[in-house]
Amino acid sequence: MSNKTFSNEKFGIVVSKNFMLNQSSRGLNTELLLSIITALIAGAFLSFLSIKSFLLLIAFVLSCIFLFYSCKYPQICFFLFAFSLPFEGYSIKTNFVSISAPNILLITILIIKFLTRQRITSALSPFIKIALFLLSLIILADIIPILFMPVENWRHIITRIGNYLVFILSALSVNEYRNLRKTFIFLTIGVVIISIMTIMHSLSYISLPVEMHRSRSLGSYSIPFQRTLGVPIDYGLYGMLTLPVLSLLMVSIFSGRKLLFQNNMLSVLFSLVILFGIFVSQSRSTWLATLISMSMIILLLSKIRIYTFCFASALLIGIVYLERNIILKFIETIINISPEGVYIRIFMDKLALDFFNRHLLFGIGYTSLHLYFGVHNNFLYQLMSRGLFGFLPYIGLIILTLVIYYKIGIKSESKELSLYSIGLLSGFIGMLVELQFFLGFSTKIFWMLIGLANSLYIMNKNVSK
């Protein structure tokens, strides 16, 4: 082994020794110390102007200290990023960016990687290479329409770029099983908190600045809770956040393995809280997605062959299609869906297909038309906005992720990695169901799960060596 490199064969990472954190801490300490001294000198003059300036100075110094410790322990920022995802609704929107905790932590992670100059080479697996190629096509599909038509809101374009960074950082940052576990522990705690806030707000125990809606009915039973959330996010995003966490908790409970917490009773408690939060939210798409995720867990843990599963799924889809009128009438009766609302959504979906037929290759781009266009299906939306050029790589990336999770879940020699893959696969399939009713392409949790497929691929590859 050369003197310039450090090899960790267990996790398949090669990092330049000159850039290792313990070797670069002296230079880093000096740089940060000078930065803090400079900030204090500049702030000393500002503090004479107003209390607000003095508070800004304190905040800046605390940020420098946080950055210093984050450079010594770089995974801290990613754990906090995972924890902050359920709270991204608390943000300040500008014309260019949304200032929120996840975005701030995302930028911090990039700064840390620049300061420490970490170079991870072996993490460039075949998965990440194919995924980056598909992602480059998706980005190109975003750029091409901008050349031909004005963009009304650049913030949405920048948001998409930020989500692509989430994918890359998730793929390259989580390289050990313990870091994977801690990432989902932090995410689980965040999801449990917003679930408790949702329950408390719905039951009127606390008052939050989140809109309440009329409760839904299940047949003749009227749900005795207000339909609301505890945080200012979309109902679809709430479902996207809860599904992977709930799936991992359920896999941990069913398998008896302690995937997240040392005490599985804690997993049971958190599962009940999240399930009750989903029920209280009264989001019908999340109900359906949760049901399918739980069904997938049972199927995957029972090791049913993929051919049997595909045949059963095709048979079920065929029955649903042939008896669609009866099933639709049954659904309308059970969960009181307005027929007018269903037909309006169908009309909007047909209109989206009409736009796609007119702009087959590159779509109509991201224009102001999208902001007021009532398409709820994410896949039709992507087809309409990106055309085939951007839609096919998008679908390819999803299929690639599903294949990786499935193969590791069924064939991995590591029981823990297998169970994690089954949980994330079930949650990801539930998210795809949610995307039938929600424009969730730009949600960070979606891109984080795609990126973590690479992390599991690397860990599984090293286990099988």
So what's the pLDDT on residue 201?
Answer: 86
Residue 66 has pLDDT above 60, yes or no: no
So what's the pLDDT on residue 268?
Answer: 92
Within 10 Å of residue 77's Cβ, how many Cβ atoms?
26
**Residue in the structure block whose two tokens are 């169970």:** 419
Kindly tell me the sign of the dihedral angle through the C-alpha atoms of 188, 193, 194, 198. positive
Residue 55 has which token pair?
């508070």
Which sequence spans correspond to the domains of the chain?
A: 5-116, 126-463
- What are the two backbone dihedrals, phi and then psi, of residue 93, each rounded to the nearest 5 degrees? -90, 130
So what's the pLDDT on residue 352?
Answer: 78
So what's the pLDDT on residue 274?
Answer: 95
DSSP letter at 93 equals E
So what's the pLDDT on residue 6?
Answer: 37
Using DSSP bridges, classify how beta strands 221-222 and 217-218 pair: parallel, antiparallel or unpaired. antiparallel
In the chain, pLDDT over 70 holds for what percent of residues?
A: 66
So what's the pLDDT on residue 47?
Answer: 47
| Furthest-apart CA atoms within the chain: distance in Å | 75
Q: Which helix (H) or strand (E) holds 464?
A: none
So what's the pLDDT on residue 147?
Answer: 63
Residue 241 has which token pair?
């956040």
Contact in structure between 400 and 409 (CB atoms under 8 Å): no
Residue 465 has which token pair?
């060596």
Residue 61 has pLDDT above 80, yes or no: no
Maximum mean pLDDT: which of 77-91, 203-217, 350-364, 374-388: 77-91
So what's the pLDDT on residue 220?
Answer: 65
Residue 222 has pLDDT above 60, yes or no: yes
- pLDDT confidence bin for 31, thresholds 50/70/90: very low
So what's the pLDDT on residue 122?
Answer: 45
Express each pLDDT in 241-283 by its tens digit.
Answer: 999 999 999 999 988 888 888 888 899 999 999 999 999 888 8
282: nearest Cα among 198, 375, 376, 374: 198
Lowest mean per-residue pLDDT among 154-168, 331-345, 403-417: 331-345
Residue 52 has which token pair?
């607000």
Residue 287 has pLDDT above 80, yes or no: yes
Residue 6 has which token pair?
């450090």
Contact in structure between 278 and 243 (CB atoms under 8 Å): no
Residue 426 has pLDDT above 50, yes or no: yes
Cα–Cα distance, 395 to 297 (Å, whole number): 23
Residue 146 has pLDDT above 90, yes or no: no
Lowest mean per-residue pLDDT among 64-78, 192-206, 409-423: 64-78
- What are the two backbone dihedrals, phi and then psi, of residue 218, each rounded to the nearest 5 degrees? -115, 100
So what's the pLDDT on residue 32?
Answer: 47
Cα–Cα distance, 358 to 364 (Å, whole number): 9
- pLDDT confidence bin for 69, thresholds 50/70/90: low
Residue 425 has pLDDT above 90, yes or no: yes
Helix (H, G, I), strand (E, B) or coil at 221: strand
Task: Give me the mean pLDDT over the 163-188 stretch.
Answer: 87
Average pLDDT, the chain: 75
Residue 381 has which token pair?
């939306």
Task: Give the CA-trace dihedral at 373, 379, 384, 385, to 10 degrees.
Answer: 80
Residue 337 has pLDDT above 70, yes or no: no
So what's the pLDDT on residue 367?
Answer: 55
Residue 1 has pLDDT above 70, yes or no: no
Express each pLDDT in 351-410 by its tens digit.
Answer: 778 877 887 887 776 654 554 456 778 888 888 888 888 889 989 999 999 999 999 988
In the chain, pLDDT over 90 holds for what percent of residues?
A: 19
